[in-house]
Amino acid sequence: MGQSVNLYGWSGHHIQMSRTEWNECLACAASQGWVAAGTSRPPIHFYLHDAPVADPWNGSYSEPLGQRVTSADAANLSEAWSKAAKASAQRRQASNLSRLVRLAQAGSFLISGETSTIGTWAPTPLSNSGHSIFQREGRALSRAS
């Protein structure tokens, strides 16, 4: 696994940081009273010639495996990170914490070691044609309104 952590919000929001920075941010949240609720199990791995592997899950946040932080836990993290950002004397740490606050305020998010392109669908009206264009990752799809 790589040395980075990628956080993906449902709105398409993405934050990448080192594992060290991520673990520091988790420690900051804990120092502000956040109590880890535990993450949801990451996806089960499938192999072509073997049965699916469903290893026991411990609810970890630190190892980026595709696990999900619940909406309730994200709200608690957002509150703790907000307090920590205000108390932080280090500009870089405060910046990371502020970005995490915005991500967590939007709700549940994924913790992954993989970098992926996650696009969001955004309607853009076409000039008086009665159609909309939906764009995702540089591609456009047309549909009638």
**Alpha-carbon span 77 to 128, nearest angstrom:** 45
Cα atoms in the 13 Å half-sphere on the side-chain side of 48: 0
Q: What confidence tens digit (pLDDT) does each residue in 71-96 have?
A: 999 999 999 999 988 887 777 777 88
Q: Categorize the per-residue pLDDT at 48 as very low, low, confident or very high, splitting at 50, 70 and 90.
A: low
**How do residues 4-39 score in pLDDT, each as one tens digit?**
999 999 878 899 999 999 999 999 999 999 999 999
- Residue 111 pLDDT > 90: yes
Ranges of each domain in the chain: 4-114, 119-145
Q: What is the pLDDT of residue 13?
A: 86
8 Å CB contact between 79 and 31: no
Reported pTM = 0.70
